[in-house]
């Protein structure tokens, strides 16, 4: 916005320059020529002077120049008595009382008027027609809602669940009165959560496009201004503008830039500005009701850093997850972007989709674009499969540095590992049903995951259920072991959690042999107060500790051999489902259970 001001200064300079130029053009030939007195006398003698008006100290009049054109002239009067000479040469002459007052006044007034005129116009423009001149926060926050957005849900592929959830919002924005009549309450804020490049910005635009409402968008990083109070002023202005244009969508991209938990500044502090902006956003969100037909959408790829106040009910209480696409999603995204380039007839995008596990929508758009560039470089008229292959390799090269792509061998191990978890869960009584198995890498840590679906809220657990949990955790590692004859580091986290549960059974819940009913719940002292692992924070003897360790190991060994037996019995299922998962990358409850039950 700083830029805008400089831009306006240029306008002023241009206007002044224009006025000067114009003056020169228009008045040039009207302006009398100043000539020396001697020349004037000579002209009189030569009979060239037609008429003169004689003032106190200036003489002006008309004369013929050497081409015979009539021109205006003035000269400074030197002689006191001219009349005789003039009469001699037959010049028409008259006296003149000089009144310089008005010309002087005009020469002052006109520039002042022009100056004020320009200034006034500029001010009005900057204010956007608002009264008040010192309202600077306002100028800087000028936000214009985009109308007639062309993006539609069809432009977003592979995010079917998200689209389904957002369809309700579209419907509401398109016809708010119907919802109002029934009395339904719309969510105020919808938070789009997902890894970078998965199409969050795109889908937000698509919502506005589908509903046909204006789209006010700002990026969180835009809000963070140099001067204190600007960010808050912008938020205020954003909402003022949006209220005028309702129904509409306010979209705040990269919400984490302003929405970080307050007080997270640490010792350096100095985040007052961001805090003020965030507070203003909270105030504005509380200050209007959805009856007006305004929906606030925001996007972030780091929901965990957001201030909890933002996620409270009445604010961004609805979250829509947009995950990396699976094979089918990738295929659909490739199809969308491939429409923009010319493809060879023998190109099979299915193969490209299979090769690009872990790619986001933006990565895939990039593949197509890169392939088109390669085709041009190889002087081909159409994009061939070779170009696409090379483009994929290049982008994998870039992504590998960020650890987001796994190779085929690893993918296979991950698939068996996850199906191991899932199979044990489905075959052990007392386990929550498997909701989803995925081997699409998520960020740095998890290469795959198995999601279980709690069937009810549970506050109590029996020993059996705790052991079943351990079984499920061990299932991944066991599946690797019986399939490949070796295990990988991927099971590390599972083992840690399994060990925790086994210890808790003994130490916290009094279900073990060693301690009987005496329990020693773990002390939750802050990390930096803890001594080394064997020292403080423990109030039983070393002997007891050794026994606990032994019993923990016994439990885990016992469970491990149980799970091994189970999975060896069901190895045909393990293989069949893991291969299916490798192919589809995501399996949902119904498909999975159908295979477990042998259909």
Question: What is the SS3 assignment for 105?
Answer: helix
Q: Site mask, ligand ADP, residues 540-579, x = CB under 6 A?
A: ----------------------------------------
* 53 vs 487, beta carbon nearer Zn ion: 487
The beta strand positions in 309-424, using DSSP E, are 318-321
- Residue 425's φ and ψ, nearest 5 degrees, are -60, -40
d(CA 422, CA 543): 38
User: Which of the listed partners (ligand ADP, Zn ion, Mg ion, none) does 476 bind, with a CB threshold of 5 to 8 Å by partner kind?
Assistant: Zn ion
Q: How far apart are CA 287 and CA 526, in angstroms?
A: 39
Segment 460 to 489, residues that bind Zn ion, using CB under 5 A: 476
Q: Shortest approach of ligand ADP to residue 151 CB, angstroms?
A: 9
- The rounded Cα 102 to chain-centroid distance in angstroms is 62
Q: How far is the CB of 325 from ligand ADP (least distance, A)?
A: 6
323 vs 418 by CB, closer to ligand ADP: 323
Q: Is 254 in the site for Zn ion (CB under 5 A)?
A: no
Q: Is 418 a catalytic residue?
A: yes
HSE-up (13 A, CA, CB side) for residue 289? 6
Residue 444 burial by Cβ neighbours in a 10 Å radius (0-12, 13-18, 19+):
exposed
- Partner whose binding site includes residue 515, from ligand ADP, Zn ion, Mg ion, none (CB under 5 to 8 Å by kind): none
User: Residue 1 gets which letter from DSSP?
Assistant: -
Instruction: Based on the shown chain and the rule CB under 6 A, indicate whether residue 320 belongs to the binding site for ligand ADP.
Output: no
Distances (CA, A) of 42 to 292, 353, 382, 598: 86, 97, 85, 124
Q: What is the DSSP string of 552-578?
A: HHHHHHHHHHHHHHHHHHTHHHHHHHH
User: Considering the rule CB under 6 A, would residue 299 count as an interface residue with ligand ADP?
Assistant: yes
Choices 17-25, 196-204, 288-296, 484-492; region in contact with ligand ADP by CB under 6 A: 196-204
Of the pair 150, 542, the CB lying nearest Mg ion is at: 150
CB of 336 to ligand ADP, least distance (A): 5
Shortest Cβ 154–ligand ADP spacing (Å): 10
Position 201 contacts ligand ADP (CB under 6 A)? yes
Q: Which of 289, 295, 343 is nearest to 316 (CA)?
A: 295
Nearer to Mg ion, 202 or 425 (CB): 202
Nearer to Zn ion, 194 or 490 (CB): 490
What is the Cα–Cα distance from 70 to 49, expressed in whole angstroms? Answer: 9
Q: How many CB atoms lie within 10 A of CB 258?
A: 29
Q: Using the rule CB under 6 A, is 333 a contact of ligand ADP?
A: yes
Kindly state the smallest distance separating residue 386's Cβ from ligand ADP, in Å.
Answer: 23
CB nearer Zn ion, residue 145 or residue 476:
476
Nearest distance, CB of residue 379 and ligand ADP, angstroms:
27
3-class DSSP assignment, residue 144: coil
Does the protein bind ligand ADP through residue 196 (CB under 6 A)? Answer: yes
Which one of Zn ion, ligand ADP, Mg ion, none is in contact with 487 (Cβ closer than 5 to 8 A by kind)? none
- Identify the helix (H) or strand (E) that includes residue 240: helix 230-245
Closest residue to ligand ADP, based on beta-carbon distance: 361
Chain Cα centroid distance, residue 507: 48
3-class DSSP state of 26: helix
Q: Which of Mg ion, ligand ADP, Zn ion, none does residue 494 bind to, with CB < 5 to 8 Å depending on kind?
A: Zn ion
Which residues between 186 and 225 bind Mg ion (CB under 5 A)?
Answer: 201
Provide the minimum distance between the beta carbon of 337 and ligand ADP in the complex, in angstroms, as a whole number: 6
Given 273, 275, 284, 418, which residue is catalytic? 418
Selected binder of ligand ADP within 44, 169, 250, 365 (CB under 6 A): 365
Indicate the length of the chain as a whole number. Answer: 599
Contact 32, 73 (CB under 8 A): yes
* Span of 23-31, 130-138, 155-163, 551-559 interacting with ligand ADP by CB under 6 A: 155-163
Q: How far is the CB of 429 from Zn ion (least distance, A)?
A: 21
Closer residue to Mg ion, CB minimum distance, 200 or 421: 200
211 or 322: whose CB is closer to ligand ADP? 322
CA–CA dist 320, 331 (Å, integer): 22
The answer to whether 251 and 204 are in contact (CB under 8 A) is: yes
Task: Tell which one of 141, 159, 252, 472 touches ligand ADP (CB under 6 A).
Answer: 159
Q: Which residue among 494, 515, 578, 582 contacts Zn ion (CB under 5 A)? A: 494
Residue 202, interface with ligand ADP (CB under 6 A)? yes
Six-digit token string for 482: 């019986």
What track of x and - describes contact with ligand ADP for positions 243 through 282 (by CB under 6 A)? Answer: ----------------------------------------
For 193, the enclosing helix (H) or strand (E) is: strand 189-193
Neighbours of 541 (CB within 10 A): 9
Does residue 300 belong to the site contacting Mg ion (CB under 5 A)?
no
Residues 6+ apart with CB under 8 A from 118: 12, 15, 16
Two tokens at 506? 């003994």
Contact residue for ligand ADP among 362, 545, 566, 596 (CB under 6 A): 362
- Whole-number Å distance between alpha carbons of 70 and 33: 12
Query: CB-wise, 258 or 424, nearer to Zn ion?
Result: 424
Token pair 């604010």: residue: 315
E-strand spans in 285-441? Answer: 294-300, 318-321, 434-438
**Of the two residues 310 and 424, which places its CB atom closer to Zn ion in the complex?**
424
Pair type for strands 92-95 and 49-54: parallel
- For ligand ADP, the binding residues (CB under 6 A) are 156-159, 194, 196-202, 299, 333, 336, 361-362, 365
Contacting positions for Mg ion (CB under 5 A): 201
Residues marked as catalytic? 418
């Amino acid at each position: 916005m700083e830029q805008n001001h400089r831009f306006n200064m240029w306008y002023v300079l241009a206007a002044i320059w224009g006025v000067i130029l114009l003056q020169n053009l228009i008045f040039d030939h009207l302006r009398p020529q100043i000539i020396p007195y001697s020349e004037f006398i000579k002209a009189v003698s030569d009979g060239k002077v037609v008429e003169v008006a004689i003032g106190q100290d200036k003489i002006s009049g008309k004369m013929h120049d050497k081409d015979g054109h009539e021109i205006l002239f003035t000269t400074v009067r030197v002689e006191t008595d001219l009349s005789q000479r003039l009469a001699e040469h037959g010049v028409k002459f008259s006296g003149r009382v000089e009144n310089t007052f008005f010309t002087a006044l005009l020469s002052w007034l006109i520039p002042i008027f022009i100056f004020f005129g320009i200034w006034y116009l500029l001010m009005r423009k900057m204010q956007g027609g608002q009264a008040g001149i010192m309202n600077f926060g306002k100028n800087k926050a000028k936000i214009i809602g985009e109308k007639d957005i062309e993006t539609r849900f069809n432009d977003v592929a592979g995010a079917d669940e998200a689209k389904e959830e957002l369809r309700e919002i579209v419907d509401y924005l398109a016809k708010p009165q119907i919802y109002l009549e029934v009395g339904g309450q719309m969510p105020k804020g919808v938070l789009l959560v997902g890894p970078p490049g998965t199409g969050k910005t795109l889908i937000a635009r698509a919502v506005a496009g589908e509903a046909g409402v204006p789209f006010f968008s700002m990026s969180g990083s835009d809000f963070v201004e140099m001067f204190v109070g600007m960010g808050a002023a912008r938020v205020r202005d954003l909402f003022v503008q949006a209220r005028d244009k309702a129904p509409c969508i306010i979209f705040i991209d990269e919400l984490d830039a302003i929405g970080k938990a307050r007080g997270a500044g640490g010792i350096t502090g100095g985040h007052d500005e961001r805090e003020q902006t965030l507070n203003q956003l909270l105030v504005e969100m509380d200050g209007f009701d959805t009856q007006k037909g305004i929906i606030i959408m925001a996007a972030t790829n780091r929901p965990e850093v957001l201030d909890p106040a933002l996620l409270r009910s009445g604010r961004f209480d609805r979250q829509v997850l947009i995950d990396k696409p699976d094979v089918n999603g990738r295929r659909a995204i490739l199809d969308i972007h491939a429409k923009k380039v010319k493809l060879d007839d023998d190109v099979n995008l299915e193969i490209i989709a299979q090769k690009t596990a872990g790619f986001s929508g933006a990565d895939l758009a990039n593949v197509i674009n890169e392939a088109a560039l390669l085709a041009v470089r190889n002087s081909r008229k159409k994009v061939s499969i070779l170009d696409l292959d090379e483009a994929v390799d290049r982008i994998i090269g870039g992504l590998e540095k960020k650890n987001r792509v796994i190779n085929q061998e690893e993918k296979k191990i991950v698939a068996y590992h996850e199906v191991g978890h899932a199979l044990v869960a489905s075959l052990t009584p007392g386990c929550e049903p498997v909701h989803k198995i995925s081997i699409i890498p998520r960020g740095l840590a998890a290469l795959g995951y198995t999601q279980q679906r709690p069937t009810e809220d549970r506050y109590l657990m029996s020993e059996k259920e705790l052991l079943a949990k351990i079984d499920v955790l061990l299932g991944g590692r066991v599946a690797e072991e019986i399939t490949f004859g070796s295990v990988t580091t991927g099971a590390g986290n599972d083992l840690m959690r399994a060990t925790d549960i086994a210890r808790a059974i003994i130490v916290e819940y009094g279900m073990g042999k060693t301690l009987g009913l005496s329990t020693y719940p773990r002390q939750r002292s802050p990390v930096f107060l803890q001594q080394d692992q064997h020292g403080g924070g423990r109030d039983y003897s070393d002997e007891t500790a050794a026994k606990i360790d032994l019993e923990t190991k016994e439990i885990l060994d016992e469970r491990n051999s149980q799970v091994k037996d189970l999975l060896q019995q069901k190895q045909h299922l393990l293989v069949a489902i893991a291969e299916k998962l490798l192919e589809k990358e995501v399996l949902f409850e119904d498909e999975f259970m159908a295979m477990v039950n042998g259909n």
